[in-house]
Structure 1
């Protein structure tokens, strides 16, 4: 590929460059991994989310070079807008429910990660209370049905919401998304992210935004069942705080 290359970031596990192609084409991001597991995790995340959730576009990936070619989005989201908390909740909910909108071939490949499959499998090693984890999965089964793959663990921070030239707000950096942790960890993170972005919302308001966003995408949560799921998740993982969302 022809074009000037600029370094955006360099970490132990990955380096990110901007590839400036000649006009009228836009710059792209070239991301190089040094860890095959991290590369595999990110490519899986994009395979799950590329056509089903508002994330940066993946244009190409190279297995041998552990590289990805991504959409370059230098414009940050405008956090001064009063609608931004709802926008963030909608974007997060879209990721959490992405597996409900996958094509048949993808759902077949992920059959081992559906709620029905996880419900009958041993709890992951990072779970400290398997009985409570079973309650978490049961709550998700009630809310989504058996075929959901419980995606979660977004690297949420204000700067990871970017704006396309047409104004659409999308999420960056989905490499940490996993098909087994559920989206509750992201819900628990939302109050802190919004506070960092200048939006001090009550826990009840944050919970309401998430309930509305997931309901629009097919979930059947209620405030009571979601709070119970959060209690169970804290017990299952050893979390000490839910930032008031369970109140």
Structure 2
């Protein structure tokens, strides 16, 4: 991705012309990294966000994430995607969520739970397309080579099978941080930066991350409370976890991945 602001704007203009005809208003750089850049664009129906990727795989992963989550989890709306320019035209959400109220931990946990359970609410054609990543398929497939303990990962998948059944696609691995929680004009809270959603691992790392993210946002929430919030949120969306089975899955996940701490969630 270009580092020069003029070159960045030229790249954005090229993407709009190539893949998003009719969107040609004022463009402003919002953020830029060597892997991706985000711009605000004033289109015919108001402001939108344009995201450009430098890596084709990252672009494809984010496009897939938005396609899977669009109707099933609180994420930014995808207006259009451009394969030629590796670009996404998204809902523009400049307003951060309000972390000051007592409802913030619940809202964040419910957003994460909605992502984790999203594939329970997919349309039939999407379920068929993702069948190779379902828990049933993953449980009988070779474990990812990067795992420290494949046997422990089999325990994680078995626990998820008990909690969700064989058809769940275990979406997760979000890039959770306070600035990635935004709000719409109607006050609804939305998760940003979903390109890290992966359909070949479980989302337990997001649960492990939740206590730290909440502390960063000024909420000292106990591990027991976080676990309870997650149990309530996933149960409301079709899961059959208990406190004990979720803790067992977390311990197996730590063993499988070499994770050093569960921040008290397994006690």
**Shared fold per TM-score greater than 0.5:** yes
Query: What is the CA-CA distance between 1:26 and the residue it aligns to?
Result: 2.4
Query: What is the CA-CA distance between 1:243 and the residue it aligns to?
Result: 0.6
Alignment of 1:1-247 (within 5 A): 1-21=23-43, 25-247=45-267
Distance in 2 of aligned mates of 1:137 and 1:43: 26
User: What SS does the aligned partner of 1:27 have?
Assistant: strand
Normalised TM-score (structure 1): 0.98
Moved over 3 A (4+): none
Distance in 2 of aligned mates of 1:113 and 1:105: 14
Query: What is the CA-CA distance between 1:213 and the residue it aligns to?
Result: 0.3
Distance in 2 of aligned mates of 1:124 and 1:42: 21
What value does the CA root-mean-square deviation take over the aligned residues? Answer: 0.8
Distance in 1 of aligned mates of 2:145 and 2:39: 35
Distance in 1 of aligned mates of 2:129 and 2:24: 36
Normalised TM-score (structure 2): 0.91
User: What SS does the aligned partner of 1:6 have?
Assistant: strand
Query: What is the CA-CA distance between 1:180 and the residue it aligns to?
Result: 1.4
Q: C-alpha offsets along residues 131-168 of structure 1, whole Å, 9 cap, x if unaligned?
A: 10000000000000010000110000011010000010
Aligned to 2:4: none
Distance in 2 of aligned mates of 1:178 and 1:158: 21
Query: What is the CA-CA distance between 1:21 and the residue it aligns to?
Result: 3.1
User: What SS does the aligned partner of 2:227 have?
Assistant: helix
Distance in 2 of aligned mates of 1:32 and 1:190: 28
User: What SS does the aligned partner of 1:122 have?
Assistant: coil
Query: What is the CA-CA distance between 1:200 and the residue it aligns to?
Result: 0.3
User: What SS does the aligned partner of 1:2 have?
Assistant: coil
User: What SS does the aligned partner of 2:75 have?
Assistant: coil
Structure 1 residues without counterparts, runs of 5 or longer? none
Distance in 2 of aligned mates of 1:233 and 1:160: 25
Aligned length: 245
Distance in 2 of aligned mates of 1:226 and 1:241: 15
